[in-house]
Chains A and B, each alone.
Chain A
């Protein structure tokens, strides 16, 4: 770490919405320094003011917000200092891009859809340097090579929508880096990406930072990212700094209760898993050889696109009282599993999917009708991913919680109200909130209400579709705890859909890892986590960053498993038809060529 004068020193910065003095500060008295070539992570949950902090430094605060105090001294090239909050527009323009630049969270909206990637990155150079066209292009192509585009010439000509999410973020990074800034502000640069892509992009940022000796302010909510990237860390909560210091000290000897809570709540795959009881014979849901294809998009001219196979030859059993996790990245077909199991959609003909309730009646889910379907709806419920979208804004919490009872005509008016109050208590909220409307609550509170609604009918099966991925880390841990308690208490069985193996590790009895519509590995949690066989499972596990400075990401494992099935090592690689699932140890099955 360099001990010389800091590149940027933020002193007592405050940001408020509205006029200073009459409105409360959303960022209050924040101070930190960034030395040249240093990575400082600003970590916090939603509402902590971390993003506003980054935006204020770039002069990009949203309308209505303003810096109400403090200064940010930036050491400019010639040794002079300038205060970023008191720069003229012209001075700021000169700094942006060449001295300070920004990497945005959402690469699709950070790139203009109407210009090629090459044009957009080149513009950065043209604005700041007088440079000839060919030299310009040469530098951009070099940069593209450096950020890991397999074919820089093609990337130059490509439009953003032609690139995958990971490549798009690489283009955004190239754009931020092209003019050799001395400070890069990265605002959650990997949050919108899949886990395996995230690992690769993080590695890229670290490499570039070292090669170019630039300073990085890494804004993130993920302590795992902090542990892997940062030299120093600033923990923020509600606009104030809770703790700041070298990353090792803060993560391994946290001084503040909040930091401790954050570290504790961060999901990670434990080294040893308790051995769970084997799957009971009594399966609540049995799925065998299920397929689901969506018709290809029809075109105005010419034949329609080929159909998309969302789910291929899917088999799974959920035992009573068991939690089965289905894990995969976007496009793996995991949400299709949830939709099919709850009869939100019908599978392709053929295959078996049956539900066996506590009463012993076996229901064939795809062919349910009328009264049988109603009975099934009472026994299987869903918890949605986004608690902000899952509750109707026009209904009070009371209406939301009593609605399932009303639909099925269960119990009297008075009884319904009592049940709603009980449900609220059960999910850890005060019954006095019943008259309120969803928009007054935080994401975690709303997800509790959504869980209460799903439990209102006293179901036997709960399908949770990424129930915590929209929540803050500390809230996520609380909601997972709640789900576990409820399972014990009400004898529930869970189908838990997630993109994150680490989240699943703490509550799954069995895990199925999916990739492009196929299950690639399946088995009891302790074997899948303790002895993963498939390269993709290994990649997922390796890619999930731990909040531990001694366990850095293993990119070799990620690279081996994250690519297309053709690139997997033998005997897992395939092209065209997938090989069958082979049982390697009892109950642990892996998709591979038969030995």
Chain B
């Protein structure tokens, strides 16, 4: 190196002024958020999974082999039925064997006897079973999977009334998955209004809301849920009960969201661009609508995503205790209600399978929420 080194690189300040500094960030915020979200492979996969599940909900009647409350007297507490592709060394396609439940005189339980002489191929896109309403438009017997004529198809076994657990899990998803959405909407509205008021006006409103939140947080959750659900009139229909349960879950969950809204409000009020809008003469309503809302809505969506699992678990817990939804409605929690009996769990462990979708959905929401939260600050 020479004592005084001068590089021959050019320098043009005029061009510097026009050139984009961060060409990689040259897009609207939502595009940047989306790009960044896509990089979270797990969160992205969970998002797709949840989207598929929600899209499938209206078509459960078509997807499930049986109706939710269809009783099969011949196969009570039947274990999961295997699906075979070959029979005696030759390809037969997905098929089941006929199963007969016979009393076992030694153990005093029902024992399954599989007749593996004759394969019974499953039928796809066929008509079978009792008619179901397709999207509430018309009745049809068309189904994605049908057991063979005269055969059965209990993929995950049946419960103590001989109802197909696999079909009931699909049907139960309708209520179990929507309870979270309705609950979060309720808590979102309450949280947004109360938290926003507390954050914007401050003073005694803030103090009151804060104290109310602290009181709510100190209440033991489960007894309150139970008391409130017990107060739902017995003669209400299953749908009304379902909505009430969602609302109850939402009513008890708003403090977390209200706090998030309040703290975001307080933080945003101090931002220079909000001050700039104030000094431009913008009215409070405009400041909230045009400057604060877009900047905190995304954060709230992430918070809400993380709140949905709590709702789903809440519904499951209530129904498990027999205080949530009532038959003939089906939900995952109600199915697990059968598992209250320890002996039954020991002998028929497959009645616990509704736990699997609960775990999957709750995990998916958590991963999705985490990925969203991380993607929401895409400027670095």
Contact = CB atoms under 8 A, between A and B. Distances in A.
Interface in B1-32: 1-7, 9-11, 13, 17-18, 20-23, 25-29, 32
A457 B282 CA distance: 13
B327 interface: no
A390 B273 contact: yes
B275 A246 contact: no
A342 B281 contact: no
Given A33-B1, A394-B29, A394-B294, A261 B280 contact: no
Nearest to B3: A245
B4 A245 contact: yes
A428 interface: yes
A445 interface: yes
A320 interface: no
Contacts of B10: 257
B5 A243 contact: yes
Nearest to A477: B13
B214 to A, nearest CB: 16
Contacts of A390: 272-273, 276
Nearest to A383: B276
Contacts of B3: 245-246, 249
Given A240-B7, A440-B26, A474-B13, A382 B21 contact: no
Contacts, number: 130
Interface stretch (A181-189, A373-381, A497-505): A373-381
Q: Interface residue tally of chain A, by bracket?
A: 35 or more
A439 B25 contact: yes
A267 to B, nearest CB: 17
Nearest to B24: A440
B317 to A, nearest CB: 38
Contact of B17 (A237, A242, A244, A429): A429
Given A394-B295, A428-B17, A478-B17, A240 B9 contact: yes
A344 interface: yes
A444 B17 contact: yes
A150 interface: no
Interface string A53-80: 0000000000000000000000000000
Contacts of B17: 428-429, 444-445, 478
Contacts of B278: 344
A255 B379 contact: no
B271 interface: yes
Contacts of A394: 29, 294-295
B11 A256 contact: yes
B291 interface: yes
B227 interface: no
A202 B177 CA distance: 64
B286 interface: yes
A242 B7 contact: yes
A403 B290 contact: yes
B276 A441 contact: no
Interface string A421-444: 000000011100000110111111
Contacts of B321: none
B18 A436 contact: no
A111 interface: no
Nearest to A444: B17
Contact of B286 (A241, A373, A395, A407): A407
A384 interface: yes
Contacts of B26: 436-437, 440
Given A386-B272, A403-B290, A437 B29 contact: yes
Contacts of A441: 20-22
Interface string B222-237: 0000000000000000
Contacts of A396: 28
Given A240-B7, A391-B273, A392-B291, A377 B279 contact: yes
Interface string B194-238: 000000000000000000000000000000000000000000000
A404 interface: yes
A344 B20 CA distance: 33
A556 B273 CA distance: 42
A439 B379 contact: yes
Contact of B279 (A255, A344, A385): A344
Contact of B280 (A242, A246, A404): A404
B308 to A, nearest CB: 25
Nearest to B32: A439
A384 B270 CA distance: 13
A31 B1 contact: yes
A378 B32 CA distance: 34
Max chain A Cβ within 10 angstroms of own Cβ: one of B11, B275, B282, B283: B11
Contacts of A403: 277, 280, 282, 290
A295 B2 CA distance: 62
Given A246-B3, A389-B271, A378 B281 contact: yes
A373 B279 CA distance: 10
Interface in A302-341: none
Given A241-B5, A342-B279, A394-B29, A440 B22 contact: yes
Contacts of A404: 280-281
A408 B20 CA distance: 31
A445 B26 CA distance: 14
Interface in A28-64: 31-33
Contact of A382 (B5, B279, B283): B279
Given A374-B281, A403-B280, A256 B7 contact: yes
A474 B29 CA distance: 29
Given A258-B11, A391-B273, A439-B379, A377 B22 contact: no
A443 B7 CA distance: 26
Interface string B88-99: 000000000000
Contact of A244 (B5, B28, B276, B286): B5
A344 B275 contact: yes
Among B25, B273, B278, B286: residue with most chain A CB under 10 A? B273
Given A344-B279, A407-B286, A440-B21, A250 B4 contact: yes
B266 to A, nearest CB: 16
A393 interface: yes
Contacts of B379: 393, 439
A90 to B, nearest CB: 32
Q: Which of A256, A373, A439 has the most B CB atoms < 10 Å from its CB?
A: A439
Interface of A: 31-33, 237, 240-246, 249-250, 255-258, 261, 342, 344, 373-374, 377-378, 381-382, 384-386, 389-396, 403-404, 407-408, 428-430, 436-437, 439-445, 450, 453, 457, 474, 478
Interface of B: 1-7, 9-11, 13, 17-18, 20-23, 25-29, 32, 271-273, 275-283, 286, 290-291, 294-295, 379
Given A243-B7, A261-B11, A394-B295, 11 more contacts: A240-B7, A245-B4, A258-B11, A381-B279, A389-B271, A390-B272, A395-B294, A403-B277, A407-B281, A408-B281, A437-B26
Closest 7 CB pairs of A and B: A442-B21, A245-B4, A255-B6, A377-B281, A394-B294, A440-B26, A389-B272
29 contacts: A244-B5, A245-B3, A246-B4, A249-B4, A250-B4, A255-B6, A256-B11, A257-B11, A258-B11, A261-B13, A342-B279, A344-B275, A381-B279, A382-B279, A390-B273, A390-B276, A391-B273, A392-B273, A393-B29, A403-B277, A403-B280, A407-B281, A429-B17, A437-B25, A437-B28, A437-B29, A439-B29, A440-B22, A440-B25
